[in-house]
Each structure stands twice: as C-alpha cells, then as structure tokens.
Amino acid sequence: MDGSLDNVDSRNLDIFKEIGNIGAGNAATALANMFNKQIITGVPDVRIVPFNDIINIMDGPENVVAGVLVDMSGDLNGFILMVVGIKDAYEMISIALDEDRPVPASFYHDSMSELDQSALSEIANILTGAYLSAICTLTGLNITPSVPQLAIDMVGAIISIVAIEYGKIGDSVLFLKTNFSDIKKTLSGHFFLIPDYASYKILIDSLGMTF
C-alpha cells in the first residue's frame, strides 16, 4: 500500500472515529481541569477529506480564522492544524480567562493581544495534545508535539503557508470536528491530522488497517 489515506473505507474509518472519540474525551477532561467547570463534548465528525477541501470546510479562502500549527516528530512526522473561527476563538479565550472577551469591532489579523494569543495557544496545546494522546494510545507510537504556532489570517493564507513550508503533502487528510459545551456556550474546534507522506503508512499499519 502507498502512503495515502485515499483508500480508507467505512470499516477503517471507524478506527479513526475511535481516535476522535478518545481525543474528544481527553480534551473535555483537560479543559474541565483548566477552566474548573464541566465541559461536554458532542459526537465528533470524523472524515477523510482532500487537502484542498480544508478551505471550503472553513467557509472559503477569505474567512479570517485562528490557525494553530503543531509539528509532530518521533514515530510520526507531520503536523496537526487546528482552525477555529474568530468568534469561537474569542469565546475560548473568554472561558480561559474567566472574563468577557468579545471580538473587537475593529478586529484585523494582527489585533489580538499577547494575553489573548497566549491563552488561545494554551488551549490549542491542550486540544491537540489530547488527540495525539489518543493516537499514541491506539497505535503504541511515540509522538512528540512542538510548541504551538499561532496565526490569525485568512484561511487561504494559512493553508498556503502550510503547503509551502511542508512541501509534498498527501492528497487526503484526517478531519475531526468537535463541539465543546459548558452551561452557556457551544464552541467548535476543527482539527486536521497531516502526517508527512512516509508517515501515512506507519500510521495505517500501526492501526491494523487492511485494504
């Protein structure tokens, strides 16, 4: 089998859905500890999607979002890209800082304060770590995440940066969308697992998938 997710069928997709379920549970527990409040997760939406579809999933190339990139190294190489809409990003920051942080009326790419960026990066670190932990649990692989890299920009620009920096990327990626809720708010996190070309086969073999 080549290093691709293009041949993943519905049976094998169930294995990735289990990663989503375990990762969402891990994330809810970690966020509950961080925020000191109950966090509930919905059933994750887990799909294999073409890399170029990330732009459409995030409402078009000109939609401004918060993108957080975490490099993976060790038994798997590549990265996880977390993307959240600006409104949800500020809602996450509000919960983390326990104070109201609405989207500024004059919001632009570089207008998020250092405190808000730090809070959002910490949340992203927790969430991406939760999904990596789920992968490690199911595969037995050792994966080390990097410090999160945060960018506030249009979806098209963020995807272009990713493509340029990492060169040849597999045609398909694992997409996970999870809703996180407390008593007052429901927020959505979008995660794209993008191993490098060689790591696809390692991941699929480690999960015991057959084609």
Is residue 92 included in any domain, yes or no?
A: yes
Q: Which residue is listed with tokens 């990066």? A: 121
Is residue 85 included in any domain, yes or no?
A: yes
Which among 209, 130, 208, 137 has a CA at the least distance from the CA of 176?
Answer: 130
| Sign of the dihedral defined by the CA atoms of residues 98, 119, 40, 51, in that order | positive
User: Which run of H or E residues covers position 151?
Assistant: strand 149-154
pLDDT above 90 covers a percentage of the chain that reads 28
Q: What pLDDT sits at residue 76?
A: 92
Stretch 43-68: mean pLDDT: 88
DSSP secondary-structure letter at 61?
T
What pLDDT digit, counting tens, does each position of 105-149 carry? Answer: 666 656 788 899 999 999 999 999 999 999 999 999 999 999 999
State the average pLDDT for the chain. Answer: 84
State which residues form the domain around 24.
10-206
Report the number of distinct structural domains present in the chain: 1
Stretch 29-46: mean pLDDT: 86
Do 195 and 170 meet the contact criterion of CB atoms below 8 Å apart? Answer: yes
Q: Cβ of 11: how many Cβ atoms within 10 Å? A: 9
Q: What pLDDT sits at residue 140?
A: 94
The larger pLDDT score, comparing residue 177 to residue 166, is at 177
* pLDDT tops 50 at residue 1: no
Phi/psi of residue 107, nearest 5 degrees: -55, 135
Beta bridge partners of 181: 40, 186
Q: What pLDDT sits at residue 54?
A: 85
Is residue 5 included in any domain, yes or no?
A: no
State the Cα torsion 206-8-189-150 to the nearest 10°. Answer: 70
pLDDT band at 167 (very low <50, low <70, confident <90, very high): low
Is residue 2 included in any domain, yes or no?
A: no
User: Which run of H or E residues covers position 202?
Assistant: helix 197-206
At 48, which CATH number? 3.40.1550.10
Exposed e or buried b for every residue in 34-71, given b needs 16+ CB within 10 A? ebeeebebeebebbbbebeebbeebeeeeebbbbbbbb
Q: What pLDDT sits at residue 120?
A: 92
Is residue 211 included in any domain, yes or no?
A: no
Is residue 113 included in any domain, yes or no?
A: yes
Q: What pLDDT sits at residue 92?
A: 86
Q: What pLDDT sits at residue 106?
A: 61
Cα 19 to Cα 47, 130, 131, 155, 165: the distances in Å are 12, 10, 7, 25, 27
* pLDDT tops 70 at residue 178: yes
Q: What pLDDT sits at residue 42?
A: 83
Is residue 1 included in any domain, yes or no?
A: no
How far apart, in whole angstroms, are the C-alpha atoms of residue 103 and residue 159?
A: 23
